[in-house]
Copies of this chain bind each other. A is one copy, B any other.
């Protein structure tokens, strides 16, 4: 493989040189045509190699996708067996191909998507078949001349109307595939030209083969390493929460890092900094997964009617935070930067706000993952808001940094000694970037608050239970951090009470 790569390199070089000034530079005595042919082959091989390499990487990264592909292979092999078994073949006739077709078309990555397509396909085939046979019967009774007119008109009208219905959001979300199959079946039955009796037999066979195909897909999809759309959505939401927390951490740390620290910022931290970008465009994936999750039966911790819509709401709030973090990130590359001396005044406070916010986000991720209420979240939110309040207070106290227009303002007596040592006053404009950054951070925290509300709504809707190991004990109120001393005292009190 290395050889082919090297060879590709050589050839490229030869070609590049060849297209320049051939008289002087060509070191390769071979005729150009042969090089071109060899080049083509080598470039083809190297492209195939590159493609396979990517495929391998994907397989290693996401083994579940490989598993899905094997499942498709198994389903198709099984349905082929079904086809090969001659007795069945004789009975079901050429219609058995519908079972193969059903498996190919219906088997999707998640159970929800497979169920959605299966149910849509079966119901639409049944409805369209019944309707088509009815219209066919009416048409056949109307005489030879009118028959094609009735059939043609009904196809035109139904196809147009059904296609139009697919543009409606309600239909699009739940019955898009069904609408296609409806048109397909209706057209096929209408124009088949068979007599009604034969059609009924045919419809029965077709429906039964389709049912066999869908059942096979559903069974294999649900029994062998099932991939649930609901669980994927659930994981996506928690992953997005973690990514946001990482990004926020990195962003604030980077903003307040000294220039020496910046050098040490490696690829890893840059990747973390950009993690929020995946979140910005996750709406489409969330919507489709929530749509499929609706079709799934109870599995794992999820009931049949788990409030998947609330996950979309949480996803929206997460994106809201991501927009803010995106803007916050642009402060890093901005031309206008507050001097380090000024940044220093809010550094610790901002870092604390950030760490408290990411604590909240990580706790939210834990709540969603474990599907248990957290007794800590109240405290964490409070701590976060306290830090923001302190940031607001600190912003107020920045007054003394601002150089009054003619530098005639006196530094307050109590800050005088401190000021003469450390305070460098400066015009407002020097402080603006820092103040903007702090405001954006405050706005981010406000949005995290909104996120907390959305997760709390989910707790209620999905009836999350309190975490088992965190049940509030009588003497350990959860909203209060207990110091070791307090705890000992409490235990003594408890012992005293028990004695009484």
Structural contact, A396 and B428, CB atoms closer than 8 A: yes
Chain B, Cβ-Cβ closest to A184: B104
Q: Which of A421-439 contact B (CB under 8 A)?
A: 427-429, 431-433, 435-436, 439
A225 within 8 A of B: no
Structural contact, B396 and A405, CB atoms closer than 8 A: no
Structural contact, A164 and B429, CB atoms closer than 8 A: no
Q: Would you give the 0/1 interface string for A148-172, flagging 1 where the beta carbon is closer than 8 Å to chain B?
A: 1001100111011101110110100
Structural contact, B395 and A405, CB atoms closer than 8 A: no
Range for the number of chain A residues in contact with chain B: 35 or more
A399 within 8 A of B: yes
Smallest CB separation, A118 vs chain B (Å) = 16
**Known interface pairs A51-B170, A168-B51, A428-B399. Does A152 touch B77 (Cβ–Cβ under 8 Å)?**
yes
| A435 to B411 CA separation, bound complex (whole angstroms) | 24
Residue of B160, B395, B406 near A412 (CB, 8 A) is B406
| A438 to B161 CA separation, bound complex (whole angstroms) | 52
**Known interface pairs A164-B59, A281-B283, A436-B440. Does A159 touch B399 (Cβ–Cβ under 8 Å)?**
no
A280 within 8 A of B: yes
Chain B residues lying within 8 Å of A494, measured Cβ to Cβ, are: none
Residue of B97, B151, B170, B334 near A188 (CB, 8 A) is B97
Structural contact, A163 and B72, CB atoms closer than 8 A: yes
Residue of B69, B72, B188 near A101 (CB, 8 A) is B188
Structural contact, A160 and B80, CB atoms closer than 8 A: no
A196 within 8 A of B: no
Chain B residues lying within 8 Å of A497, measured Cβ to Cβ, are: none
Chain B residues lying within 8 Å of A155, measured Cβ to Cβ, are: 73, 76-77, 80
Q: Would you give the 0/1 interface string for A436-457, flagging 1 where the beta carbon is closer than 8 Å to chain B?
A: 1001100100110000000000
Structural contact, A69 and B161, CB atoms closer than 8 A: yes
Binding stretch for chain B, among A245-253, A323-331, A350-358, A372-380: A323-331
A48 within 8 A of B: no
Residue of B68, B165, B283 near A55 (CB, 8 A) is B165
| A399 to B155 CA separation, bound complex (whole angstroms) | 75
How many copies of this chain does one complex carry? 2
| A408 to B407 CA separation, bound complex (whole angstroms) | 11
A471 within 8 A of B: no
Residue of B76, B402, B412 near A156 (CB, 8 A) is B76
Chain B residues lying within 8 Å of A400, measured Cβ to Cβ, are: 405
Smallest CB separation, A63 vs chain B (Å) = 11
Residue of B62, B409, B428 near A395 (CB, 8 A) is B428
Structural contact, B327 and A440, CB atoms closer than 8 A: yes
Structural contact, B395 and A334, CB atoms closer than 8 A: no
A200 within 8 A of B: no
Smallest CB separation, A276 vs chain B (Å) = 10
Chain B residues lying within 8 Å of A427, measured Cβ to Cβ, are: 396, 399
Structural contact, A104 and B69, CB atoms closer than 8 A: no
Residue of B74, B97, B151, B392 near A80 (CB, 8 A) is B151
A472 within 8 A of B: no
Smallest CB separation, A177 vs chain B (Å) = 11
A32 within 8 A of B: no
Chain B, Cβ-Cβ closest to A158: B73
Residue of B100, B324, B405 near A187 (CB, 8 A) is B100
23 example contacts (A-B, Cβ-Cβ < 8 A) are as follows A51-B170, A55-B164, A58-B168, A62-B167, A68-B163, A69-B164, A72-B159, A72-B160, A73-B157, A76-B155, A81-B152, A280-B319, A281-B281, A330-B447, A395-B429, A399-B405, A402-B402, A402-B404, A405-B415, A406-B409, A406-B412, A408-B409, A428-B435
Give 13 A-B pairs besides A62-B167, A84-B193, A399-B403 with Cβ atoms closer than 8 angstroms: A55-B164, A66-B164, A72-B183, A76-B187, A77-B155, A283-B284, A323-B327, A399-B404, A399-B427, A404-B404, A405-B412, A408-B409, A435-B435
